[in-house]
């Protein structure tokens, strides 16, 4: 199991980005959260097997209907939250 934190920058708020990411998460064996940040970026926190996490990130940045809104992304390793059981949007 691994955990990643990804910050997406660009026109990623107000375009359905979080809802698209949540829908994509249904197709992967991951848990985590996605939330808007005050600076206009979006933070994604993912936990899962490395292949699942990497494939989901690849899908968001390359093939999703919101990929063209991403100007920059910052991917970092993160601590695993062992209490995580599902994927949710933080409002």
How far apart (Å, rounded) are the C-alpha atoms in residues 50 and 36?
Answer: 24
Angstrom CA distances, 83 to 31, 79, 80, stand at 10, 12, 9
Answer positive or negative: Cα dihedral of 3, 13, 24, 35: positive
How far apart (Å, rounded) are the C-alpha atoms in residues 30 and 72?
Answer: 23
Catalytic residues: 18, 36
């Amino acid at each position: 199991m691994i955990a990643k934190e990804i910050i997406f920058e660009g026109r990623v708020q107000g375009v359905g980005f979080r809802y698209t990411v949540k829908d994509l998460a249904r197709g992967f064996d991951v848990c985590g959260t996605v939330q808007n940040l005050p600076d206009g970026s979006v933070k994604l926190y993912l936990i899962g097997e490395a292949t699942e996490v990497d494939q989901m990130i690849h899908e968001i940045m390359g093939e999703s209907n919101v990929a063209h809104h991403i100007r920059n992304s910052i991917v970092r390793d993160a601590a695993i939250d062992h209490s995580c059981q599902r994927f949710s949007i933080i409002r």
